[in-house]
Protein backbone atom coordinates (compact mmCIF):
# COMPACT_ATOMS: atom_id res chain seq x y z
CA UNK A 1 0.00 0.00 0.00
CA UNK A 2 1.53 3.30 -1.04
CA UNK A 3 1.80 6.23 1.30
CA UNK A 4 -1.10 8.40 -0.01
CA UNK A 5 -3.56 5.49 0.19
CA UNK A 6 -2.40 4.68 3.73
CA UNK A 7 -3.00 8.26 4.80
CA UNK A 8 -6.47 8.29 3.29
CA UNK A 9 -7.26 4.99 5.06
CA UNK A 10 -6.10 6.32 8.43
CA UNK A 11 -8.12 9.49 7.90
CA UNK A 12 -11.25 7.50 7.06
CA UNK A 13 -10.71 5.33 10.15
CA UNK A 14 -10.46 8.43 12.34
CA UNK A 15 -13.72 9.72 10.83
CA UNK A 16 -15.45 6.41 11.54
CA UNK A 17 -14.18 6.41 15.16
CA UNK A 18 -15.33 10.01 15.58
CA UNK A 19 -18.76 9.09 14.22
CA UNK A 20 -19.01 6.15 16.62
CA UNK A 21 -18.00 8.32 19.55
CA UNK A 22 -20.50 11.03 18.58
CA UNK A 23 -23.29 8.51 18.09
CA UNK A 24 -22.68 6.95 21.49
CA UNK A 25 -22.46 10.37 23.10
CA UNK A 26 -25.77 11.50 21.61
CA UNK A 27 -27.60 8.22 22.26
CA UNK A 28 -26.10 7.55 25.67
CA UNK A 29 -25.17 10.78 27.44
CA UNK A 30 -27.45 13.28 25.71
CA UNK A 31 -30.43 11.02 25.05
CA UNK A 32 -32.64 12.36 27.84
CA UNK A 33 -31.86 15.98 26.99
CA UNK A 34 -32.78 15.49 23.34
CA UNK A 35 -35.86 13.48 24.21
CA UNK A 36 -37.17 16.19 26.52
CA UNK A 37 -36.17 19.10 24.29
CA UNK A 38 -39.12 21.44 23.71
CA UNK A 39 -38.34 21.51 19.98
CA UNK A 40 -38.56 17.73 19.66
CA UNK A 41 -41.95 17.38 17.94
CA UNK A 42 -41.64 13.60 18.04
CA UNK A 43 -42.71 13.72 21.70
CA UNK A 44 -46.03 15.30 20.80
CA UNK A 45 -46.61 12.85 17.96
CA UNK A 46 -45.90 9.95 20.31
CA UNK A 47 -48.31 11.29 22.95
CA UNK A 48 -51.18 11.03 20.51
CA UNK A 49 -50.07 7.80 18.82
CA UNK A 50 -52.22 5.67 21.19
CA UNK A 51 -55.27 6.20 23.42
CA UNK A 52 -54.73 8.47 26.38
CA UNK A 53 -55.98 7.29 29.77
CA UNK A 54 -59.12 8.82 31.24
CA UNK A 55 -60.08 11.09 34.11
CA UNK A 56 -62.80 9.34 36.10
CA UNK A 57 -65.72 10.94 37.95
CA UNK A 58 -68.20 8.83 39.89
CA UNK A 59 -66.91 5.65 38.25
CA UNK A 60 -67.31 6.97 34.69
CA UNK A 61 -64.83 8.69 32.36
CA UNK A 62 -65.34 12.36 31.58
CA UNK A 63 -62.63 12.20 28.91
CA UNK A 64 -61.97 10.00 25.88
CA UNK A 65 -59.54 9.59 22.99
CA UNK A 66 -60.98 9.90 19.48
CA UNK A 67 -59.26 7.98 16.66
CA UNK A 68 -58.55 10.45 13.85
CA UNK A 69 -55.75 8.58 11.98
CA UNK A 70 -54.08 11.80 10.90
CA UNK A 71 -50.72 12.13 9.20
CA UNK A 72 -48.96 13.02 12.45
CA UNK A 73 -51.55 12.32 15.16
CA UNK A 74 -53.52 9.10 15.43
CA UNK A 75 -55.73 10.26 18.32
CA UNK A 76 -56.96 13.48 19.83
CA UNK A 77 -58.41 14.26 23.24
CA UNK A 78 -62.14 14.74 23.76
CA UNK A 79 -64.33 15.49 26.79
CA UNK A 80 -67.77 14.55 28.03
CA UNK A 81 -69.59 17.59 29.46
CA UNK A 82 -66.39 19.53 28.84
CA UNK A 83 -67.49 22.95 30.21
CA UNK A 84 -68.78 21.42 33.45
CA UNK A 85 -65.57 19.49 34.15
CA UNK A 86 -62.97 21.83 32.59
CA UNK A 87 -62.00 23.35 35.99
CA UNK A 88 -61.14 19.80 37.10
CA UNK A 89 -59.63 18.23 33.99
CA UNK A 90 -58.07 21.21 32.27
CA UNK A 91 -57.22 20.77 28.59
CA UNK A 92 -54.88 18.61 26.52
CA UNK A 93 -54.19 20.11 23.11
CA UNK A 94 -51.93 19.06 20.27
CA UNK A 95 -51.10 22.73 19.68
CA UNK A 96 -51.43 24.38 23.11
CA UNK A 97 -50.00 21.79 25.54
CA UNK A 98 -52.08 20.95 28.63
CA UNK A 99 -53.26 22.25 31.98
CA UNK A 100 -54.51 21.13 35.41
CA UNK A 101 -55.02 17.37 35.84
CA UNK A 102 -54.33 16.75 32.16
CA UNK A 103 -50.91 18.29 32.78
CA UNK A 104 -50.14 17.28 36.37
CA UNK A 105 -51.18 13.66 35.79
CA UNK A 106 -49.74 13.44 32.27
CA UNK A 107 -47.32 10.64 33.20
CA UNK A 108 -50.19 8.33 34.16
CA UNK A 109 -52.59 9.49 31.43
CA UNK A 110 -49.98 9.21 28.66
CA UNK A 111 -48.57 5.94 30.01
CA UNK A 112 -45.03 7.30 30.37
CA UNK A 113 -44.87 7.27 34.18
CA UNK A 114 -41.97 5.09 35.41
CA UNK A 115 -44.43 3.19 37.63
CA UNK A 116 -46.05 1.84 34.46
CA UNK A 117 -42.78 0.44 33.07
CA UNK A 118 -43.56 -3.21 33.84
CA UNK A 119 -47.06 -2.92 32.39
CA UNK A 120 -45.77 -1.21 29.23
CA UNK A 121 -42.99 -3.79 28.79
CA UNK A 122 -45.48 -6.64 29.09
CA UNK A 123 -47.79 -5.03 26.54
CA UNK A 124 -44.87 -4.56 24.15
CA UNK A 125 -43.86 -8.23 24.44
CA UNK A 126 -47.43 -9.42 23.90
CA UNK A 127 -48.06 -7.03 21.03
CA UNK A 128 -50.82 -5.19 22.87
CA UNK A 129 -51.35 -1.54 21.97
CA UNK A 130 -49.89 0.90 24.47
CA UNK A 131 -52.47 2.82 26.50
CA UNK A 132 -52.36 5.40 29.26
CA UNK A 133 -53.62 4.86 32.79
CA UNK A 134 -56.61 6.44 34.53
CA UNK A 135 -56.91 9.14 37.19
CA UNK A 136 -59.83 8.67 39.58
CA UNK A 137 -61.08 11.92 41.08
CA UNK A 138 -63.03 12.63 44.27
CA UNK A 139 -65.69 14.63 42.42
CA UNK A 140 -69.33 13.76 43.12
CA UNK A 141 -71.07 14.07 39.71
CA UNK A 142 -74.42 15.09 41.26
CA UNK A 143 -72.78 17.84 43.30
CA UNK A 144 -70.76 19.03 40.30
CA UNK A 145 -73.89 19.27 38.16
CA UNK A 146 -75.87 21.01 40.90
CA UNK A 147 -73.16 23.66 41.26
CA UNK A 148 -72.75 24.09 37.50
CA UNK A 149 -76.50 24.37 36.87
CA UNK A 150 -76.93 26.64 39.88
CA UNK A 151 -74.31 29.11 38.69
CA UNK A 152 -75.70 28.93 35.15
CA UNK A 153 -74.81 32.05 33.20
CA UNK A 154 -73.55 33.84 36.31
CA UNK A 155 -69.88 34.61 36.75
CA UNK A 156 -68.57 32.85 39.84
CA UNK A 157 -67.39 29.62 41.44
CA UNK A 158 -68.38 26.87 43.86
CA UNK A 159 -66.35 24.38 45.90
CA UNK A 160 -67.65 21.49 48.01
CA UNK A 161 -65.52 19.50 50.46
CA UNK A 162 -65.97 16.44 52.62
CA UNK A 163 -64.99 17.87 56.03
CA UNK A 164 -63.96 14.48 57.40
CA UNK A 165 -61.51 13.60 54.62
CA UNK A 166 -60.76 16.79 52.65
CA UNK A 167 -62.04 15.22 49.42
CA UNK A 168 -63.16 17.83 46.89
CA UNK A 169 -66.72 16.88 45.90
CA UNK A 170 -67.39 19.75 43.50
CA UNK A 171 -65.15 22.27 41.75
CA UNK A 172 -66.97 24.60 39.38
CA UNK A 173 -66.06 27.88 37.69
CA UNK A 174 -68.31 29.87 35.37
CA UNK A 175 -68.29 30.94 32.64
CA UNK A 176 -66.39 27.90 31.45
CA UNK A 177 -65.12 26.53 28.14
CA UNK A 178 -65.08 23.32 26.10
CA UNK A 179 -61.52 21.94 25.84
CA UNK A 180 -62.55 19.95 22.76
CA UNK A 181 -62.71 23.13 20.64
CA UNK A 182 -58.91 23.40 20.46
CA UNK A 183 -57.78 19.83 21.19
CA UNK A 184 -56.45 19.28 17.66
CA UNK A 185 -57.43 18.24 14.17
CA UNK A 186 -57.80 21.56 12.39
CA UNK A 187 -55.12 24.19 13.07
CA UNK A 188 -57.25 27.03 11.71
CA UNK A 189 -60.32 26.14 13.77
CA UNK A 190 -58.29 25.39 16.89
CA UNK A 191 -56.38 28.67 16.61
CA UNK A 192 -59.57 30.66 16.22
CA UNK A 193 -61.16 29.00 19.26
CA UNK A 194 -58.02 29.46 21.38
CA UNK A 195 -57.68 33.15 20.49
CA UNK A 196 -61.35 33.80 21.17
CA UNK A 197 -61.08 32.25 24.64
CA UNK A 198 -57.94 34.23 25.49
CA UNK A 199 -59.55 37.49 24.37
CA UNK A 200 -62.90 36.90 26.06
CA UNK A 201 -63.30 39.62 28.75
CA UNK A 202 -65.23 37.14 30.93
CA UNK A 203 -62.10 34.97 31.21
CA UNK A 204 -63.73 31.54 30.74
CA UNK A 205 -60.37 29.78 31.07
CA UNK A 206 -59.75 31.25 34.53
CA UNK A 207 -60.35 28.65 37.24
CA UNK A 208 -62.12 30.98 39.65
CA UNK A 209 -62.47 28.27 42.30
CA UNK A 210 -58.68 27.97 42.76
CA UNK A 211 -57.00 30.76 40.84
CA UNK A 212 -59.01 33.88 41.75
CA UNK A 213 -59.22 35.72 45.05
CA UNK A 214 -62.11 37.88 46.20
CA UNK A 215 -62.84 40.05 49.22
CA UNK A 216 -64.68 37.46 51.37
CA UNK A 217 -66.99 40.01 52.95
CA UNK A 218 -68.95 38.94 55.98
CA UNK A 219 -68.07 35.25 55.57
CA UNK A 220 -64.73 36.21 57.15
CA UNK A 221 -66.57 37.09 60.37
CA UNK A 222 -66.38 33.38 61.16
CA UNK A 223 -62.58 33.63 61.26
CA UNK A 224 -62.86 36.72 63.45
CA UNK A 225 -65.25 34.94 65.82
CA UNK A 226 -62.88 31.97 65.97
CA UNK A 227 -59.98 34.24 66.93
CA UNK A 228 -62.13 35.89 69.62
CA UNK A 229 -63.00 32.55 71.24
CA UNK A 230 -59.48 31.11 70.88
CA UNK A 231 -57.96 34.19 72.52
CA UNK A 232 -60.41 34.15 75.44
CA UNK A 233 -62.20 37.35 74.51
CA UNK A 234 -65.58 35.61 74.82
CA UNK A 235 -66.72 32.36 76.36
CA UNK A 236 -69.94 31.56 74.53
CA UNK A 237 -72.19 32.50 71.58
CA UNK A 238 -74.60 34.42 73.79
CA UNK A 239 -71.97 36.61 75.44
CA UNK A 240 -72.88 40.24 75.08
CA UNK A 241 -70.47 42.62 73.37
CA UNK A 242 -69.79 46.23 74.18
CA UNK A 243 -70.36 47.75 70.75
CA UNK A 244 -71.63 51.20 69.85
CA UNK A 245 -73.71 51.70 66.71
CA UNK A 246 -72.31 53.25 64.62
CA UNK A 247 -68.73 52.34 65.51
CA UNK A 248 -65.99 54.86 64.76
CA UNK A 249 -62.93 53.18 63.25
CA UNK A 250 -59.85 53.54 65.49
CA UNK A 251 -57.74 56.61 64.83
CA UNK A 252 -60.26 58.07 62.40
CA UNK A 253 -63.55 59.92 62.27
CA UNK A 254 -65.01 57.34 59.88
CA UNK A 255 -68.15 55.60 61.06
CA UNK A 256 -68.52 51.88 60.35
CA UNK A 257 -72.21 51.24 59.85
CA UNK A 258 -74.46 48.22 59.49
CA UNK A 259 -76.77 47.41 56.61
CA UNK A 260 -79.74 48.96 58.36
CA UNK A 261 -80.30 51.35 61.26
CA UNK A 262 -83.02 49.02 62.53
CA UNK A 263 -80.73 46.04 63.12
CA UNK A 264 -80.16 45.20 66.82
CA UNK A 265 -76.36 45.51 66.63
CA UNK A 266 -75.65 47.84 69.53
CA UNK A 267 -74.13 45.78 72.36
CA UNK A 268 -75.42 42.66 70.55
CA UNK A 269 -74.48 39.12 71.54
CA UNK A 270 -72.18 37.23 69.21
CA UNK A 271 -75.12 35.10 68.07
CA UNK A 272 -77.38 38.03 67.20
CA UNK A 273 -74.47 39.84 65.60
CA UNK A 274 -73.81 36.81 63.37
CA UNK A 275 -77.49 36.37 62.51
CA UNK A 276 -77.74 40.01 61.39
CA UNK A 277 -74.12 40.13 60.20
CA UNK A 278 -73.31 43.23 62.26
CA UNK A 279 -70.29 45.02 60.83
CA UNK A 280 -69.89 47.14 63.94
CA UNK A 281 -69.61 44.14 66.29
CA UNK A 282 -67.09 42.11 64.31
CA UNK A 283 -65.16 45.15 63.12
CA UNK A 284 -64.62 46.21 66.74
CA UNK A 285 -63.70 42.65 67.77
CA UNK A 286 -61.05 42.60 65.04
CA UNK A 287 -59.62 45.95 66.12
CA UNK A 288 -59.60 44.87 69.77
CA UNK A 289 -57.84 41.60 68.91
CA UNK A 290 -55.24 43.40 66.81
CA UNK A 291 -53.72 42.53 63.46
CA UNK A 292 -51.29 39.90 64.73
CA UNK A 293 -53.81 37.69 66.53
CA UNK A 294 -56.30 37.97 63.68
CA UNK A 295 -53.64 37.15 61.09
CA UNK A 296 -52.38 34.20 63.14
CA UNK A 297 -55.87 32.72 63.17
CA UNK A 298 -56.40 33.35 59.46
CA UNK A 299 -53.13 31.59 58.66
CA UNK A 300 -54.23 28.51 60.60
CA UNK A 301 -57.08 28.24 58.09
CA UNK A 302 -54.63 28.53 55.17
CA UNK A 303 -54.39 32.26 54.42
CA UNK A 304 -50.96 33.44 53.19
CA UNK A 305 -50.05 29.86 52.26
CA UNK A 306 -48.74 29.59 48.69
CA UNK A 307 -48.49 25.79 48.66
CA UNK A 308 -52.07 24.54 48.88
CA UNK A 309 -52.00 21.77 46.26
CA UNK A 310 -55.06 19.76 45.36
CA UNK A 311 -52.83 18.73 43.33
CA UNK A 312 -53.78 21.76 41.20
CA UNK A 313 -52.11 24.57 43.13
CA UNK A 314 -54.45 27.26 44.46
CA UNK A 315 -53.29 30.87 44.49
CA UNK A 316 -52.71 32.05 48.06
CA UNK A 317 -55.51 33.76 49.94
CA UNK A 318 -54.29 36.91 51.61
CA UNK A 319 -54.56 38.48 55.03
CA UNK A 320 -52.39 41.59 55.50
CA UNK A 321 -49.53 41.79 57.97
CA UNK A 322 -49.20 45.55 58.41
CA UNK A 323 -52.70 46.99 58.61
CA UNK A 324 -53.40 50.04 60.74
CA UNK A 325 -56.01 49.59 63.50
CA UNK A 326 -58.80 50.97 61.32
CA UNK A 327 -57.65 48.70 58.48
CA UNK A 328 -57.69 45.70 60.81
CA UNK A 329 -61.30 46.48 61.75
CA UNK A 330 -62.19 46.34 58.04
CA UNK A 331 -60.05 43.23 57.50
CA UNK A 332 -62.07 41.56 60.27
CA UNK A 333 -65.27 41.90 58.23
CA UNK A 334 -63.65 40.67 55.02
CA UNK A 335 -63.00 44.02 53.39
CA UNK A 336 -59.92 46.28 53.12
CA UNK A 337 -57.02 44.07 51.92
CA UNK A 338 -58.38 40.63 52.86
CA UNK A 339 -58.86 38.30 49.87
CA UNK A 340 -59.76 34.63 49.58
CA UNK A 341 -60.32 31.91 47.01
CA UNK A 342 -63.59 29.97 47.09
CA UNK A 343 -61.50 26.92 48.08
CA UNK A 344 -60.15 28.83 51.08
CA UNK A 345 -63.61 29.77 52.34
CA UNK A 346 -64.82 26.19 51.85
CA UNK A 347 -61.88 25.18 54.05
CA UNK A 348 -63.11 27.58 56.76
CA UNK A 349 -66.57 26.01 56.73
CA UNK A 350 -65.05 22.53 56.60
CA UNK A 351 -62.87 23.05 59.69
CA UNK A 352 -65.83 24.33 61.69
CA UNK A 353 -68.01 21.39 60.62
CA UNK A 354 -65.23 18.91 61.46
CA UNK A 355 -64.95 20.09 65.08
CA UNK A 356 -61.89 22.23 64.48
CA UNK A 357 -59.77 19.88 62.38
CA UNK A 358 -58.99 21.04 58.84
CA UNK A 359 -58.14 18.22 56.43
CA UNK A 360 -55.90 18.72 53.39
CA UNK A 361 -58.13 19.25 50.32
CA UNK A 362 -57.48 16.74 47.54
CA UNK A 363 -58.88 16.03 44.11
CA UNK A 364 -57.22 12.75 43.06
CA UNK A 365 -58.26 9.62 44.92
CA UNK A 366 -56.43 7.01 42.86
CA UNK A 367 -54.06 6.51 39.95
CA UNK A 368 -54.32 3.22 38.09
CA UNK A 369 -52.95 1.38 35.07
CA UNK A 370 -55.00 0.58 31.97
CA UNK A 371 -55.75 -2.89 33.39
CA UNK A 372 -57.24 -1.17 36.50
CA UNK A 373 -54.29 -2.10 38.73
CA UNK A 374 -53.89 0.56 41.43
CA UNK A 375 -50.66 2.55 41.07
CA UNK A 376 -51.28 4.91 43.99
CA UNK A 377 -54.04 5.62 46.50
CA UNK A 378 -54.48 8.93 48.32
CA UNK A 379 -53.83 8.97 52.04
CA UNK A 380 -55.86 11.52 53.97
CA UNK A 381 -53.95 13.85 56.26
CA UNK A 382 -54.59 16.87 58.43
CA UNK A 383 -53.81 20.33 57.11
CA UNK A 384 -54.06 22.19 60.43
CA UNK A 385 -55.98 22.62 63.69
CA UNK A 386 -57.42 26.15 63.50
CA UNK A 387 -59.42 25.82 66.73
CA UNK A 388 -60.21 23.63 69.68
CA UNK A 389 -63.22 21.30 69.37
CA UNK A 390 -65.18 23.35 71.90
CA UNK A 391 -64.57 26.49 69.85
CA UNK A 392 -65.79 24.72 66.71
CA UNK A 393 -68.99 23.76 68.50
CA UNK A 394 -69.59 27.42 69.39
CA UNK A 395 -69.04 28.40 65.77
CA UNK A 396 -71.48 25.71 64.69
CA UNK A 397 -74.12 27.25 66.94
CA UNK A 398 -73.51 30.64 65.34
CA UNK A 399 -73.70 29.28 61.79
CA UNK A 400 -76.81 27.24 62.47
CA UNK A 401 -78.51 30.32 63.98
CA UNK A 402 -77.77 32.22 60.74
CA UNK A 403 -79.64 29.57 58.74
CA UNK A 404 -82.48 29.19 61.23
CA UNK A 405 -83.09 32.82 62.13
CA UNK A 406 -80.75 35.09 60.22
CA UNK A 407 -79.66 36.02 56.70
CA UNK A 408 -79.20 32.42 55.48
CA UNK A 409 -82.72 30.98 55.79
CA UNK A 410 -82.82 30.05 52.09
CA UNK A 411 -80.25 27.32 52.78
CA UNK A 412 -82.54 25.35 55.09
CA UNK A 413 -82.99 21.65 54.19
CA UNK A 414 -85.71 19.57 55.85
CA UNK A 415 -84.31 16.94 58.18
CA UNK A 416 -80.73 18.18 57.83
CA UNK A 417 -78.60 20.29 60.16
CA UNK A 418 -77.33 23.25 58.13
CA UNK A 419 -74.99 26.03 59.20
CA UNK A 420 -74.06 28.95 57.02
CA UNK A 421 -72.85 32.50 56.64
CA UNK A 422 -73.77 35.05 54.03
CA UNK A 423 -71.39 37.64 52.70
CA UNK A 424 -71.57 40.61 50.38
CA UNK A 425 -68.21 42.07 49.43
CA UNK A 426 -67.61 45.54 48.04
CA UNK A 427 -65.01 45.96 45.32
CA UNK A 428 -63.88 48.26 42.56
CA UNK A 429 -62.64 51.83 42.81
CA UNK A 430 -64.50 53.55 45.65
CA UNK A 431 -66.59 50.34 45.90
CA UNK A 432 -68.26 51.26 42.62
CA UNK A 433 -68.63 47.67 41.35
CA UNK A 434 -71.68 45.55 42.02
CA UNK A 435 -70.98 43.59 45.23
CA UNK A 436 -69.89 39.95 45.20
CA UNK A 437 -72.46 37.61 46.75
CA UNK A 438 -71.03 34.89 49.05
CA UNK A 439 -72.42 31.97 50.98
CA UNK A 440 -70.37 29.40 52.88
CA UNK A 441 -72.03 26.53 54.69
CA UNK A 442 -72.02 22.96 55.88
CA UNK A 443 -74.70 20.28 56.13
CA UNK A 444 -74.81 17.17 58.29
CA UNK A 445 -77.08 14.28 57.35
CA UNK A 446 -78.64 11.82 59.77
CA UNK A 447 -76.30 9.08 58.50
CA UNK A 448 -73.18 11.01 59.53
CA UNK A 449 -72.44 12.26 56.04
CA UNK A 450 -71.17 15.85 55.84
CA UNK A 451 -70.41 18.45 53.19
CA UNK A 452 -68.98 21.98 53.34
CA UNK A 453 -69.63 24.43 50.50
CA UNK A 454 -68.48 27.87 49.39
CA UNK A 455 -70.19 29.81 46.60
CA UNK A 456 -69.29 33.23 45.22
CA UNK A 457 -71.17 35.08 42.50
CA UNK A 458 -69.39 38.02 40.90
CA UNK A 459 -71.35 41.21 40.28
CA UNK A 460 -74.41 39.27 41.32
CA UNK A 461 -75.76 41.36 44.17
CA UNK A 462 -78.31 44.01 43.48
CA UNK A 463 -77.32 45.86 46.65
CA UNK A 464 -74.69 45.75 49.37
CA UNK A 465 -76.82 44.19 52.09
CA UNK A 466 -76.60 40.64 53.36
CA UNK A 467 -79.88 39.68 51.70
CA UNK A 468 -77.92 39.49 48.45
CA UNK A 469 -75.62 36.71 49.62
CA UNK A 470 -78.56 34.86 51.12
CA UNK A 471 -80.78 35.18 48.06
CA UNK A 472 -78.25 34.64 45.27
CA UNK A 473 -75.49 32.38 46.58
CA UNK A 474 -77.29 30.43 49.34
CA UNK A 475 -79.74 28.59 47.01
CA UNK A 476 -76.79 27.37 44.92
CA UNK A 477 -75.01 26.07 48.01
CA UNK A 478 -78.25 24.43 49.15
CA UNK A 479 -78.60 22.52 45.87
CA UNK A 480 -75.02 21.25 46.16
CA UNK A 481 -75.56 20.12 49.76
CA UNK A 482 -78.79 18.35 48.75
CA UNK A 483 -76.98 16.58 45.91
CA UNK A 484 -74.29 15.24 48.23
CA UNK A 485 -76.76 14.16 50.92
CA UNK A 486 -79.33 12.83 48.38
CA UNK A 487 -82.03 15.12 49.78
Tens-place pLDDT, residues 415-439: 999 999 999 987 544 444 568 999 9
At 446, the pLDDT band (50, 70, 90 cuts) reads: confident
Q: Which of 218, 350, 441, 471 is catalytic?
A: 218
Question: 350 with 403: CB under 8 angstroms?
Answer: no
DSSP label of 128: P
Q: Map 381-415 to HEC letters.
A: CEEECCCCHHHHHHHHHHHHHHHHHCCCHHHCCCC
β partners of residue 92: 98
For residues 424 and 441, what is the distance between their CA atoms, to the nearest angstrom? 15
Q: Report the alpha-carbon distance of residue 371 to residue 317 in Å, rounded.
A: 40
Q: What is the pLDDT of residue 415?
A: 93
Decide if pLDDT at 39 tops 60: no
- Those residues whose C-beta lies under 8 Å from the C-beta of residue 136, and which sit 6 or more positions away, are 56, 364, 365, 366, 367, 368
Please tell me the distance from the alpha carbon of residue 190 to that of residue 65, in angstroms, as a whole number: 17
- Most confidently predicted of 126-135, 384-393, 426-435: 384-393
Q: Tell me what percent of the residues of the chain surpass a pLDDT of 90.
A: 75
The pLDDT value recorded for residue 37 is 57
Going by C-alpha positions, the residue among 335, 328, 330, 348 that lies closest to residue 395 is 348
* 26 — pLDDT class (breaks 50, 70, 90): low
- State residue 131's pLDDT score: 83
- Check if 99 is active-site: no
pLDDT-derived band of residue 69, with 50, 70 and 90 as boundaries?
Answer: confident
Is the confidence at residue 5, as pLDDT, over 80? no
Distance of CA 169 to the CA centre of its chain: 11
Residue 9 CB neighbour total at 10 angstroms:
11
Q: Show the CA angle centred on residue 243, arms to residues 242 and 246, nearest 5°.
A: 160
Q: Nearest to residue 363, comparing CAs of 384, 378, 350, 382?
A: 378
pLDDT in tens, 70-85: 778 889 999 999 999 9
- CA distance linking residue 315 with residue 212, whole number of Å: 7
Q: 454 has which bridge partners?
A: 159, 440
Q: What is the pLDDT of residues 155-184, one digit of tens each?
A: 999 999 999 999 999 999 999 999 999 998
**Distance from C-alpha of 427 to C-alpha of 429, rounded to nearest angstrom:** 7
Amino acid sequence: MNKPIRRVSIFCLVLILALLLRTNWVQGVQADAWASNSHNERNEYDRYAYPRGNIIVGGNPVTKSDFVNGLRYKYKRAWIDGPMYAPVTGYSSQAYKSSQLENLEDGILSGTDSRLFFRNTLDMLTGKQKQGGDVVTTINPKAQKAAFDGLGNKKGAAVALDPKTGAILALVSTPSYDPSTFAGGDPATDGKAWTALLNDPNKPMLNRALKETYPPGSTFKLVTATAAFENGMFQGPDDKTSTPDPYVLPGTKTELKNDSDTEPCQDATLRVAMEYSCNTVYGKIGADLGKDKLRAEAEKFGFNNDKIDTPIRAVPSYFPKNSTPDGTAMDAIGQHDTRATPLQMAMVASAIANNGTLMQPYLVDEERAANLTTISKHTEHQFSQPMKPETAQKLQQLMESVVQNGTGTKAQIDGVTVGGKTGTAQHGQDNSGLPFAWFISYAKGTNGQQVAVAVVVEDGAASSNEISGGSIAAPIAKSVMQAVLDK
